[in-house]
Chain A
Amino acid sequence: MHKRSTVIQGRREEDAVARFTTESRRRALSARRLRRGGLALALVAPAALAYVVFVIRPIVMTVQYSFYEWNGVTPSTWVGLANYVELFHNPELSGSIVHAFELIIFFSFVPVALGLFTANAIRGFATSRLAVVSRTVLFLPQIIPLVAAGIMWSWQMSTDGLVNQVLRLLGLGRVGRAWLGDFNTALPAVGVIGAWVLFGLCMLLLLAGMTKIDPALYEAARVDGAGPFREFFAITLPSLRQEIVVCLTVTVIAALASFDIVYIATQGGPGNSTLVPGLEIYYLAFFQREVGMASALAVALMVLVLAVVVPLQLINREGKS
């Protein structure tokens, strides 16, 4: 009994000592963390400040403006959600959003598909000089300013431009037309310009991803008797999951937020057939002077981009885990 109590007592003392030491260690740790945290905060502060002033603040102000009717100069009137309601009722505004989604086909799917195909082909002769040359040539459109690309392509697609000349050479002169001036072809024609620009980026990203794949995998597959198709679908494609998601994210944003190419090539014409939200925001803010309406469309566009891109990121994260 006595003995037991001593033991208990001893245990208590031990506990107290242990408690004391963990307590002091925790305090020391938290003090250190605080010191370190203070330093970290000080280091982060300038960047955070810039981010708040130049990114967060404009976004918050855009949201704020979207609840007003304002011409940009004179005092504004609070209109609540009226601008958003108008978004859904005006066919021109909702039409521009539909166009943006159509552009995803050209800005995202085409470059990613072509990029996969090309990167796979280039991987086949990765070490030769031809690979370097083709990689450089195919990436070139990416370093050309979008405005220049737009001007160049609007010449190529004009009535007497390169595209129609080639068609005439092939005896397809009848198919030829002013591609950017025809209601049926203007949006796809703008899409082709985007595909041309973004293809190089996708190809390079995917090619970089392919170099990371362990060659042993391919060897093993070959030993098991897999052909090039099987290799592509069983090894290359699954290994490139992350790169493909990155490509899709970048190009989907480019499609939904497109402005420069459309502005240069068609300015939304003919007859609003290539009107996209980016262009519509610009027209609303600077021609119609409806800053509130323009802000509402901008907020809607931001939400839309997030709605498409966030699920893509989730797919990517699931893939990793």
Chain B
Amino acid sequence: MSRPRFAQRTTFTATVLLGSVLTLAACSSPGGTAPTSKSASTSSSSFAGGAPSCGTAPVALSTYIETGFPVPKDLSDEFTKQYPNVTFNIREDQFAVITQNAPRVLVDDPPDLMRLPQVSELAKDGLLLNLDPYAKAFGWDKWPASQLEQMRVNSSGGRGDGSLYAMGLNFSMTGVFYNKELAAKFGMTSAPTTLAELDADLKKAKEAGLTPAAQFNGGATGGLAFPLQGLMAAYGDASAINSWIYQKPGATIDTATNTQAAEHLKSWIDAGYFASDINSIDYATMMSRFIDGKSVFIFNGDWESGTLDAKMAGNAGFFLMPPATAGGKFGAMSAPLTYGISAKAKHPDCAAFFLNWVATNDKARTIDVQVGGSHPMGPADAFMPSIDASTVTAQTLAAGAQIGADNGAMDFIANATGAIYAKSWTPNLQKMDAGQLDAKGLLSAVQGDYQSEIGG
């Protein structure tokens, strides 16, 4: 007698629970309400009739930056000094956190300025302010076009051309750092100018009992992508790699020259030029080993120039990945330190004014170079602070000029899609290091993941 009644009651309770849950969940499809399409005109037309500025009334720019890098803070402090009515409400997070939360933050808590991962999906979803009106008002469109190329998104969601959706605080570039003292031990006195010379230097370092390169490649950070992309530019054409990154129709990473590059990388792995434990080395470990003199070379970017000048003054050198043939063109990964304005930002004019100030103000450009170690954005003939020629910062800036001359700037192959780095390059490069994949296998695996991601 008690059983059925119990069962009855349970059924009743379950029905009530389920009913209330369904009411609460409001059974509509998720994300049902499309984000109110706030077109560029509503926000940016506010400066119609004059140049965009921060005005004179107090403005608090809400700013979302990447933690661990002093440049944005130093820039905002200097800006407040020059424009006392503007203050910054700064929120900091690690880049990975920013990447994960970018869409939600841009919708729910729209910042005026925000550090961004690659912008194509965010722009496509209408979350970022179209900066074209500002580019026109400030004359950004007269700068070297390659500076802004990576932040342009066209109407079909492809990158590389179309409207501007973000700006850089500066732009950074990758190549090879080396420890001069250790290099002198095996007779390397100048930077290699061809790939064959670099091969010889790596070999000599290995024979001298040193670790040629303790490149990070552990966890979810496939750092072998740095030398790989350098080699791709050494063998092939930078623009073809950009087409792939920008998701141009028909673009593939699995090309003949890229296969040569991957095979070259594989030959370095097989020769033992990388530390035996790179699959467990994270970025911070790589930096500490290099600074402690436990690695002759590292493949990294000029965002470390300032740090290396401070921590191994006079002992760090830099060169671009040399071309496969003497006299060939140089190529390097080069990307702006991307900042965007939310489509729902409260102070878009002031944010844009700040971005323009960073690129054109002498003091701001000095901070960019001295604190950040990277090249400022802006016109080619703009002011450059003087720097000691013996520093590695001077060398990376000079290398930047070389890349500009050779038109060899590429975006990072890790930026092709949102997940290609963590879910494809990294595991496949780790497999290659462990001898489970060859050059061809690496490229076809990545191309497969790329297609399934952009096709879906």
Q: Which residues of A contact B (CB under 8 A)?
A: 48, 52-53, 56-57, 60-61, 64-65, 68, 70-76, 78, 158-159, 177-183, 266-272, 283, 286-289, 291
Contacts and interface: CB of A to CB of B under 8 A. Distances in A.
Contacts of B277: 158-159, 177-178, 181
A112 B449 CA distance: 41
A97 to B, nearest CB: 17
A283 B423 contact: yes
Interface residues of B, number: 49
A56 B27 CA distance: 14
B25 A68 contact: no
A183 B434 contact: yes
B contact face: mostly helix, strand, loop, or mixed: helix
B4 interface: no
B219 A288 contact: no
A270 to B, nearest CB: 4
Contacts of A159: 276-277, 280
Given A65-B30, A283-B419, A270 B427 contact: yes
Contacts of B31: 70-76
- Listed from nearest, the 9 A-B pairs whose CB atoms lie closest are A181-B280, A178-B277, A181-B279, A178-B280, A267-B220, A270-B430, A286-B100, A267-B219, A271-B430
B24 A68 contact: no
B285 to A, nearest CB: 8
Contacts of A181: 218, 277-281
Contacts of B104: 72-73
A110 B166 CA distance: 53
B418 A183 contact: no
B217 to A, nearest CB: 8
Contacts of B428: 271
B426 A269 contact: yes
Given A56-B21, A269-B218, A288 B103 contact: no
A64 B279 contact: no
Contacts of A56: 17, 21
A48 B219 CA distance: 41
A230 B127 CA distance: 70
A288 B453 contact: yes
B20 interface: yes
Given A52-B21, A72-B31, A268-B220, 13 more contacts: A57-B24, A61-B30, A71-B103, A73-B31, A74-B34, A76-B30, A183-B279, A183-B431, A269-B279, A270-B217, A270-B430, A271-B431, A287-B419
A60 B279 CA distance: 40
B102 to A, nearest CB: 10
B227 to A, nearest CB: 17
A287 B97 CA distance: 10
Chain B CB within 10 Å — which of A73, A78, A183 has the most? A73
14 contacts: A60-B22, A61-B30, A70-B31, A73-B107, A74-B35, A182-B279, A269-B426, A270-B430, A270-B434, A271-B427, A283-B422, A286-B101, A288-B418, A289-B121
A278 to B, nearest CB: 14
Interface string B268-292: 0000000011111100010000000
B2 interface: no
A181 B436 CA distance: 14
Given A52-B20, A78-B29, A283-B419, A71 B125 contact: yes
B32 A75 contact: yes
Nearest to A279: B220
A72 B29 CA distance: 11
Contacts of A180: 218, 280
Contacts of A179: 280
Contacts of B33: 75
Nearest to A53: B24
B451 interface: no
Contacts of B217: 270
Given A68-B29, A177-B277, A270 B218 contact: yes
Chain A CB within 10 Å — which of B30, B31, B277, B430 has the most? B30
A52 B100 contact: no
A267 B430 CA distance: 13
Given A64-B30, A68-B30, A287-B418, A272 B427 contact: yes
A193 to B, nearest CB: 14
A269 B219 contact: yes
A168 to B, nearest CB: 15
Contacts of A178: 276-277, 279-281
B17 A52 contact: yes
Contacts of A48: 17
A263 B208 CA distance: 37
Interface string B30-68: 111111000000000000000000000000000000000
Contacts of B423: 283, 287-288
A64 to B, nearest CB: 6
Nearest to A274: B219
Contact of B30 (A266, A267, A270, A291): A291
A267 B32 CA distance: 33
A68 B32 CA distance: 11
B99 A73 contact: no
Contact of B35 (A68, A73, A268): A73
Contacts of B35: 73-74
A177 B103 CA distance: 41
A70 B125 CA distance: 12
A216 to B, nearest CB: 38
A57 B21 contact: yes
A287 B415 CA distance: 12
Given A159-B280, A289-B103, A73 B427 contact: no
A294 to B, nearest CB: 12
A79 to B, nearest CB: 11
Contacts of B422: 283, 287
A74 B125 contact: yes
Contacts of B125: 71, 73-74
Nearest to A48: B17
B418 to A, nearest CB: 6
B343 to A, nearest CB: 12
Nearest to A291: B30
Chain B CB within 10 Å — which of A78, A183, A286 has the most? A286
B31 to A, nearest CB: 5
Contacts of B276: 159, 177-178
Contacts of B17: 48, 52, 56
A272 B423 CA distance: 8
Chain A CB within 10 Å — which of B99, B220, B280, B428 has the most? B280
A73 B124 CA distance: 11
A87 B21 CA distance: 27
Nearest to A157: B280
Contact of A64 (B25, B221, B431): B25
Nearest to B219: A267
A288 B281 CA distance: 24
Contacts of B20: 52
B422 to A, nearest CB: 5
